Structure 1
Amino acid sequence: MTTAPRPSGAPRVGRVERTTKESSVLVEVDLDGSGTVDVSTGVGFYDHMLGQLGKHGLLDLTVKTTGDTHIDAHHTVEDTAIALGEALRLALGDKSGIRRFGDALVPLDETLVQVAVDLAGRPYCVHTGEPEGQAYVVIGGDYVGSLTRHAIESLASNAAIALHVRVLAGRDPHHIVEAQFKALGRALRDAVALDPRVVGVPSTKGAL
């Protein structure tokens, strides 16, 4: 179940409940939070990554997912990302007063990741630069490296945002994933921020 988009001036909170035969997901996100995170998906490494997203995005984020992890982590990661994207879209409402664009260049030891985001209402994702073999690495016992791109693409599609993620350097598989989620959080933090100089929606079309 998805709540209706917020009216202008209402708290910027999105809440989504999504249930399929593969998973049950509850996501709530507050764009004007302080980075308080309560995440439980049954996939420990993914919990850690969503925690980084919330902390560095200053998003108050609640995620409760029960999925068919006895098969693998794919459905749980995907369905959580879908619900998170939907919750972000709802929380943004009509996007009045936001900065709209955000970007970040984030190092994590040997790893460097660049993320740019446009809250344009047109879903698009470009994800490049992961080293050869990253997609096949298993991290934390049940998180396969290929899930990172899939999660980011699912989030971008359901949030209706344009998202570019570039891994510029990196060796350690954990660092490569973590830097992406941190950079995504920082870019979203800038893009969703309210700017008092912005009157209405930041688009010459008058709508996003």
Structure 2
Amino acid sequence: MRETIIERKTNETDIRVKLNLDGTGKYKNDTKIGFLNHMLDLFTKHGRFDMEVICNGDIDVDYHHSVEDIGIVIGKCFADILGDVRGINRYGNFYMPMDEALTLVAVDICGRSYLKFDVDIPTQKVGSFDTELVKEFFLGFTRGIEATIHIKTFYGENSHHIIESVFKGFARAIAQAVEIDEKFKDEILSTKGVLA
């Protein structure tokens, strides 16, 4: 099984993430941030991973540190499991409709950190969650995994729907990228022979 547990403790957050890439979509996410829990549940279910995220952060300040650091730790879990990325598809992409919203997510697990986040979210908050933190989550994830990730929402009106299309689309795209290609399971998908 491709699985790991990573813990990270700072003066701002105390995080434990358990991830199994070959799961069935089971989740137990307790970030103390209701909307983020919902998005991580969706990510886990639609990626068909098994994931547990426990975070105790300084949410009395705001949600920024928790959201960013959770992204980093989840990204590091993927990196830890994938190692030299031998045998995986490496690339994944998915168009995700969510009612009136449509988002494209494309992923290259290449050892180079780059995020293109082209998502217009019409409101500043969904419930108590600052919508600008969606980008911060994906910046953290990108740094943790060291991948190139492009996220573009073509249209949408409801902020919740737009963000949900992002997380679901990301789940499907990265699930495709980390899938083992049986034809090349002992190779790295690069003419260089290494990534980065």
* TM-score exceeds 0.5: yes
Q: What is the 5 A alignment of 1:1-208?
A: 11-131=1-121, 133-134=122-123, 137-141=124-128, 143-198=129-184, 199-208=186-195
Deviation at residue 207 of structure 1 after TM alignment: 1.6
Secondary structure, in 3 states, of the residue corresponding to 1:197?
helix
- In the alignment, structure 2 segments of 5+ residues that lack a partner are none
Secondary structure, in 3 states, of the residue corresponding to 1:24?
strand
- Structure 1 distance, partners of 2:18, 2:34, is 19
Deviation at residue 73 of structure 1 after TM alignment: 0.8
Deviation at residue 200 of structure 1 after TM alignment: 1.3
List per-residue Cα deviations over 1:34-87 (Å, max 9, x = no partner). 111110000000000011111111111110000111111111111111111111
TM-score with structure 1 setting the length: 0.90
Secondary structure, in 3 states, of the residue corresponding to 1:56?
helix
- Structure 2 distance, partners of 1:130, 1:32, is 33
List per-residue Cα deviations over 1:135-179 (Å, max 9, x = no partner). xx21122x1010001111110111000000001110101011111
List per-residue Cα deviations over 1:9-30 (Å, max 9, x = no partner). xx31132100011110001111
Divergent runs of 4+, >6 A? none
- In the alignment, structure 1 segments of 5+ residues that lack a partner are 1-10
- Structure 2 distance, partners of 1:205, 1:27, is 32
Q: Percent identity?
A: 36
